[in-house]
Amino acid sequence: FHDGSGLDRTDLISADLLTALLAEAADPARPQLRPVLTGLPVAHFTGTLAGRYTDGAAGLVRAKTGTLTGVNTLAGTVTTPDGRLLGFAFLANDTTDAWSAQSALDRAATTLVS
């Protein structure tokens, strides 16, 4: 991390590390990290996901979005129909159409739900 905000182009983190951090926050032995998950926007209901996920993923995806020119990200958790909690991090670089990239990331998260 260059500045800790995620907004500096020299801030670099892998999808694997983001997913590992989410898994750590979900560990019942680490209740002090639970706000990392419960504070994430909820698909179709809150924050940056309020206007998204009008399909079967509404309420089942909790994630943080990230958008810079040419970069789109989505990292969070999904709850599967059998109640499993899955962590994910999708990072897209060199994107030319932010809306299309966002839609693709949303579809990927929706796919995890099923």
Amino acid, res. 88: F
Contact 43, 75 (CB under 8 A): no
Domain boundaries, the chain: 15-113
CATH 3.40.710.10: does it fit domain 15-113?
yes
Q: Please tell me the predicted confidence (pLDDT) of residue 12.
A: 77
Q: Please tell me the predicted confidence (pLDDT) of residue 5.
A: 61
Per-residue pLDDT of the chain (114 residues; tens, 9 = 90+): 556 566 667 777 889 999 999 999 999 999 999 999 999 999 999 999 999 998 889 999 999 998 889 999 999 999 999 999 999 999 999 999 999 999 999 999 999 998
Query: Concatenated DSSP letters for 40-55?
Result: S-BTTTSGGGTTS--S
Q: Please tell me the predicted confidence (pLDDT) of residue 44.
A: 96
Geometric angle at alpha carbon 2, from 92 and 108, rounded to 5° = 20
Q: Please tell me the predicted confidence (pLDDT) of residue 2.
A: 56
